[in-house]
Structures are given as C-alpha cells and as structure tokens.
Amino acid sequence: MSADEVVLAAMRAMWEAADPCPVDLTERVLFRLSLERLDVEVMAIQTALSGAGARGTEMTNTIIFESQSLALTIAVSEARMRQRRRIDGWISPSAALRVQLHGADGVLEETADEDGRFAFPDVSGGLVHFTVEPTAGAAVRLDHPVATPAIAI
C-alpha cells in the first residue's frame, strides 16, 4: 500500500467513526429517486411529538405531514415487548381516501372513513412511508397521489 493509500485509509476510518453514514441512507435515496419517476406530491414533516401512553409499557409518537393538497396525522403506538406497531391516522380535510403503507410487510392498504380516520393495527417496525391515493367519490379531489417521506417506526 502506498503512503497516499495509507493516509486515505486513515482519514476514511476517522470519518466513519466521527460521522458514520446513516444506516437507512440507501433506502431513503432509493425512495426519493422512485418519486422522481412518478407524478407524486411529496408531503413535508411538520411536527413530530412523543409522549407516554396511558399504560407504562406503551409509547406513542405523533407525526404530522402536510402538503398543498392535504395533511396527514399519524400516531404510532408501540409495545416495548414486541416489534409490532399500531398506526392510527387522520386525513385533513376529512375524506374517504385510500391510504397505503409501504414497509417491511409490503404494501398495506386501508380506506379512511368519511371523517378521514384509518388504522393499520399490526405493522412491523422499521422504515415506512405512506401514500394517499386519489379515490373516486371522495370529498377531497386529488389529481395525483400524495406521499410522505420515509420514517422509522
């Protein structure tokens, strides 16, 4: 190994220790690239709140996503003893739209009720994102799907 290669290897080791690459960077980049190929509106995270549940073994995280078309609020409940999650969500303005959850379990789909409420009662933890799909007859008209950025649950 040349002197330059030794110095470069030492610098790489130093930066990997001081500022490691996020473990989910590849998944996030691939998600972002896949959205560029689609006609999709991407929501932004507006608020992320954490709080203890009523029972000592549960924790709830609430995240609000917003776009020009709508807002999506999700509450993620996790049992500390399990790797599964319950996700309750609300669409605003209220509408019976199809919601897809993309994650470790594949693509799960629910339709929100007329008040915009939906739930995914049993989801694997890990990186997920949501897509709200245009739905015929819904109170809110979407011209194209609306997607959230990927989040870890």
Domain boundaries, the chain: 23-152
pLDDT in tens, 31-62: 666 655 556 677 778 766 555 444 444 556 89
pLDDT in tens, 92-136: 999 999 999 998 889 999 999 999 999 999 998 888 999 999 888
According to DSSP, the β-strands at 98-103 and 127-133 are antiparallel
Which pair of structure tokens corresponds to residue 49? 């709140």
Which secondary-structure segment (H or E) carries 26?
Answer: helix 25-36
pTM of the model: 0.68
